[in-house]
Amino acid sequence: MAGTDHGEAARRPLIAVIGDGDLDPDHPRIALAEDVGRALVDAGFRLLTGGGGGVMAAASRGAHRSSRYAHGDVVGVLPGDDASAANPWVDIAIPTGLGHLRNGIVARCDAVIAIGGRAGTLSELAFAWTLGRLIVACRAGGWAEQVAGTRIDDRIRHAAVSDDRVFGADDAAAAIAIVRARLAAYGRGT
């Protein structure tokens, strides 16, 4: 098609934010997730979540608050069959009907940022590790804090990345800086 560039050069990386699906609105992870969502779009990335509440909704809301936000920047991969179950800040809802198995789809994004989380987040972290994705874990409790700075197992995922691990971050700015600096080394950068 003339005048349309659908090539890889036009593609903006899709970064998943994963974490607790149900948190009180005043929980510190909510503010952190909102900051991460906004910072991702500010940095030129698109956001992928599981489309639900808690960390997912906060990151999606934050993405909408970016001055660089454009419709389509927030994608939600839903566990159920109903697109209307997505949080109100999801632009593109993808209902899968897969339940928690959809965590493997979320983990196929370009990189993952984890904030808190319980068993569902742990499964996404394991999928992302197995798939060789860049993983950043915010030190804000939950599974993210437990795996920050560690290797999930002993496999060599990227021979050229001698310090491959789940990279730890203390705030949104640090998480985005890691993604910007390391995404290309994981074969997923622009």
Residue 48 resides in a domain: yes
**What predicted TM-score, i.e. pTM, was given to this entire model?**
0.94
Residue 6 resides in a domain: no
Q: Which pLDDT tens digit goes with each residue over 82-114?
A: 999 999 999 999 999 999 999 999 999 999 999
Residue 4 resides in a domain: no
Residue 64 resides in a domain: yes
Residue 7 resides in a domain: no
Domain extent, residue 71, equals: 12-183
Q: Which residue has the tokens 């808190």?
A: 116
Residue 33 resides in a domain: yes
Q: Which pLDDT tens digit goes with each residue over 54-64?
A: 999 999 999 99
Q: What is the CATH number of the domain that holds 168?
A: 3.40.50.450
Q: How confident is the model at residue 118 (pLDDT cuts 50, 70, 90)?
A: very high
Number of domain units in the chain: 1
Residue 3 resides in a domain: no
What residues contact 108, with CB distance under 8 A and at least 6 apart?
A: 127, 131, 133
Cα gap 45→12, rounded to integer Å:
6
Q: How confident is the model at residue 3 (pLDDT cuts 50, 70, 90)?
A: very low
Reading phi first (left if > 0) and then psi (alpha if -120 to 50, else beta), residue 58 is in: alpha
Residue 1 resides in a domain: no
Q: What is the mean pLDDT of the chain?
A: 94
